[in-house]
Each structure stands twice: as structure tokens, then as C-alpha cells.
Amino acid sequence: MRKHRLITRKATIIALSAIMALGVSACNLSSVISTGSSTSTSTSTKTTTTTTTTTTSSSGSSSATATTDESEIFSDRDLEQEADTSDATYITVSDGEDVTITEAGVYVISGSASEVTITVNCEDEDAKVQLVLDGVTITNSDFPAIYVISADKVFVTTATGTQNTLTVTGTFTADGETNTDAVIFSKDDLTLNGEGTLTIVSKQGNGISAKDNLTITGGTYVITAAEDAIEANDSIAISDGTFTITAGKDGMHCENDEDYTVGEVYISGGTFDITASDDGIQATTYLTINGGTFDITAVEGLEATHIIINGGDITISASDDGINATSKSSYVDVVLEINGGTINITMGSGDTDAIDSNGNLYITGGTINITASSAFDYDGTGSFTGGTIYVNGSQITQLTNSMMGGGMGQMTGGMTGGMTGGMTGDMGGRGGR
């Protein structure tokens, strides 16, 4: 039977200072997305990136403009890879002894134990809690290793040079009406950072689940999950980190089945090795890639309603669609934009498409190398105005359109633009999450 250890300010040997009031919570990505009609432009730097993209639908109306400013997405504290432990509370985990944190502060966690949950449950809605993993190993049979019930934001920081392992071996047990389906499960905003390594094993569920916003700015992550490796309801934002992911469903999945105006993924850096039985990365509304190195093996590599690729080195091996823009939300138009980066796509045989848009397709830059029987499939406008494209080893100057998936678009393209076509995609969300 589990015991419970309640960690409060009175119970600590070292008093906690007001230092935890400093970090400013980053905003939801949706707060920097608006509607506009300006010409498509794209600028980016490593520290502060602003990307503005506007497209026009086949009907002539302007679609949503995605404007993402990294200074608004990532707070200063999100980007700090080392915690200030001068006033920290130190916790050593013990078998069968749960730990509950109820106040803001920095908590350094170490030791090796089984059947232990670190629970964050703060009455103060403005509380920021930082969990520093300092060589900790937790193995549970049916409940998260880290469980965030209530806080303004929780930071999970891997201490420099440390190896940390969190494992759940069996089927997750619900907490009342809450389906706690991940090794790290958070009901509030969650940030992962640090300079250590975190290995997560979820044999029956998800690796990481954040029911609000998930931010990752550093650290090394090795995640093996029977379902989604990383998931969030409202947004996933990543600026850096090294990820080795093996997932029984999606490598990353962002969806809120109660609000289809959110569910965005933004990536500006990092190294990603993703093997997934379904999608490599899936977003409901926007999927924006400004940088990073990606090696994805999946049924579909990238999927969202509106996909924007401005940079990065992306390698995809897929058995259905390499990159797929499809209607998962009526909040945004179905658009696939490639403005930069290097993209290598290798497709399996059969009815497969390397680049598939159930709406419009715009290629303005970058280098694309495709090995596939069907390179492009788009249902609306196809426009190729910049960049370099190779299909099966030969450079092309005009888009082809296979339409094997059922679109009514026309075979258009060329370096001067394209023509319009008909039908838009399939409604796609995954329910019950």
C-alpha cells in the first residue's frame, strides 16, 4: 500500500523564497494567430523567429495568417536549462511512498523507487513548480510517475549530465473522472527543459500528456510508448532538444476534441528520430516547422490542416502520405506551404503520395527530393514559384497532380503558378481524447 508524503513550505528544511514567482508563463500559440491579407513573407533567426504566411483559398478569400513570435511562445524561464537550486527542497524517492507538492518552489528529486507518484496540486493558481530530475528512476505499474493536478505551470528539468528513467508497465488507472494515460500527465501547462537525459517507457499508454500547452526547449528524450509518445491538447512548442521516439500511434499528437480552434505544433529546432505506427507529427490546426533535423518513419510523416515549412532538414519514409494537409479543423483552410528547408521523402508502393494537400499547395523555396510513384496530389491550387524539386532523380520545373486520392484539382504548376480545382479534404480528428 502506498504512503503519502506531503511537501509544503513548513515541512522543508530550507525555506522557499519568492524566486519561483519570476518565470513568466508563455502564451498559447493561438493567441498569436490572426486573420489577414498581406503578401506571404518569412523571416527567421535562432533566438527570435517571426513567421508570417498568408494564402488565398480557391474561392479567392484570404485564409488565416499564422504569425508566431518566439519571444511570445517561449518565456525566459522556459529557455533556462539550469534551475536555480539555491532555495530548493531536496526529495529522495522511496518505494511505495507518494510525494505531493502543494506550493510553488524548486524541488530536486533523486533516488530509485517503485510505485511512486510525484503529484503537484497547488491551491494557488499562480504557482510555478520546478521539478529537477537529478538521477531519478521510478517504475510504476498503473499510475503516472509525475502527475500535475493544479498549478500555473510546471517545469520538468533534467539536471546536467544526469540519467533519469520513468516507466509505467501496465494499464493506467483513472483518478476519478481523469483518465491518467501517460507516464508524465499534466492538467496544466508543462515545460520540459534541461541538460540531462530522460527516458520514458509507457507499455500501455502515452509517454507525455499535457492537457493544456506543452513546451520543450532542451534536454535529451528517449520515449517508447504503446500509444502517442508526446501529446497535448492545445499546443506543442519545441525550440530545441534531442528526441528518439518509438510510438504505437503518433510520435507527436496535438488535438483538443472540445475545441478545434487549437491543437497547434510549432518547431524551430531540435533533432528528432521518430518511428511511429501512425503519424510522425500530427496537429489539428497549424503545423509550423522553422528548423530542426527530422528522421521520420511512419504511415504519414507530417499531418495537419495547415502545414507551413520554412526551414529544417526533414527526411521522411512513409507508407501512405509523406506530408499531408487535410481538414482536421474548420477554423483554418487546408493549405500546404513549403517556403524553405531540405525535404527528402521516400514513399512505399501502392496508392501513396509524397506531398498531398486536400486543399491548396504552395512551393516558394527549399530543396525537395522525392522518391515515389506519385509525387504530388492536391485538390485546389498548385503553385511552384521557387525552390528546387527532384522526383525520382530528375529535376522538375512543373508540378504534376496524381489526384489518385480522389481530388478534382487540375494538373497545374510551373514556376509561374497554378490553377484552381475542386474538393477539399476529409474531416479527420481523433475523438475521445
The tens digit of pLDDT for each residue in 356-392 reads 999 999 999 999 999 999 999 999 999 999 999 999 9
Q: What is the DSSP letter of 28?
A: P
What's residue 69's pLDDT?
Answer: 85
Q: Where are the domains of the chain?
A: 78-396
The confidence band for 7, taking pLDDT boundaries of 50, 70 and 90, is confident
| Residues 281/263, Cβ–Cβ less than 8 Å | no
Q: Which residue has the cell 498503473?
A: 142
Average pLDDT over residues 247-260: 96
The tens digit of pLDDT for each residue in 336-351 reads 999 999 999 999 988 8
The tens digit of pLDDT for each residue in 405-418 reads 433 343 344 443 33
What's residue 346's pLDDT?
Answer: 98
| Residues 186/150, Cβ–Cβ less than 8 Å | no
396 pLDDT exceeds 50? yes
For residues 278, 274, 297, 214, the Cα torsion angle rounded to the nearest 10 degrees is 40
* More confident site: 17 or 152: 152
Which pairs count as long-range contacts for 49-55, CB under 8 Å and 24+ apart, including other chains?
49/268, 49/290, 51/288, 51/290, 51/308, 51/310, 53/308, 53/337, 53/339, 55/333, 55/335, 55/337, 55/360, 55/362
How far is 152 from 192, CA to CA, in rounded Å? 15
Beta strand 64-69 pairing with 33-35:
antiparallel
What's residue 29's pLDDT?
Answer: 58
Indicate the range of 52-61, 94-103, 134-143, 312-321 predicted with least confidence.
Answer: 52-61
The tens digit of pLDDT for each residue in 31-56 reads 443 323 333 333 333 333 444 444 44
Collapsing DSSP to helix, strand or coil, 304 comes out as strand
148 pLDDT exceeds 70? yes
How far is 94 from 82, CA to CA, in rounded Å? 25
What's residue 16's pLDDT?
Answer: 34
